[in-house]
Amino acid sequence: MISLPVHEFAHGYCAKLLGDTTADQQGRLTLNPLKHLDPIGVIAMLTVGFGWANPVPINTSNFTKPKRDMAIVALMGPISNLVLAIIGVCLFKITSIVFIINNSQLWLYYFKVFFNYFAIINITLAVFNLIIVPPLDGSRLVTYFLPQKYYDIFMRFEYLGTIVVFALLFFGVLDMPISIASGWFLKVFDWITYPLDILRNFLINIIV
C-alpha cells in the first residue's frame, strides 16, 4: 500500500521529467494505491508471498534518447524503494530510542516492528526489481548497453521473461541471492545510521 505506489510513481514522475507525460495523462502520477495496485497481484502477494503492481504506462517515443531515458526511468523505481528503506531504518532506530525513554511502552514496540519490516520489504523490492530479467527494471538498465539489433531481439522475447521470473520465484531459486543482497543493503544502511545507535546506547547508559 505504500512501497508499490511510490515505486510506480517514481517511474511515472521520472518519465514526465524526461518528456513522457503518458502516466500523468492517464491519472497514474499519484500516490493513491488504488491507482497502482493490480487485484491479482495483491491476491498473489497475500497467498503465495509475492505479487506485483500495475506498471505505469511509458511511451519511449516521447523520450529524446529512448534507450538512455528508459534506463533512467527504470532505475528510479528501485532507488525509490531504497530511499524508503533507509527512512524505515531511521524511524526504527528513532522509535527504539523513544521506546527506551517511555519505559518500553507496548504500542511503541509495534511501531518498531512495523518500521523494521518496512525497511526489509523495501530493500527486497529494490533488489528483486534489479534482477536482469525482463520485464524487471534491471533488464532496462542492461538493454541500454546493448547494440540496437540485440536490444530489439531482447525486447521481442520480453514476455518469456515474465514466465521465467514466476518460475524462479515459485521454485525458490531467487530466495538465497535476494536474501544475500538484501542483507548487504541492510548492513550499509545500518552503518549509515550508526549515529542513532550511539544516541540509543548513551540513553541506555543514563537510564540504567
In the chain, % helix, strand, coil (3-state, to 5) comes to 75, 0, 25
Distance (Å, whole) CA 94 – CA 73: 32
**C-alpha separations of 192 from 87, 96, 196 in Å:** 11, 17, 9
Of 134, 123, 141, the closest CA to residue 181 belongs to: 123
Distance between terminal CA atoms of the chain? 39
Q: Which three cell numbers stand for residue 13?
A: 514522475
What is the number of residues in the chain? Answer: 208
Catalytic residue among 6, 8, 80, 129: 8
List the beta bridge partners of residue 12.
none
Phi, psi angles (nearest 5°) of residue 37: -75, 135
The position carrying cell 527494471 is 137
Distance (Å, whole) CA 54 – CA 28: 10
CA 39 distance to own-chain centroid:
19
Q: Does 158 qualify as catalytic in the annotation?
A: no
Which residues form the catalytic set? 8
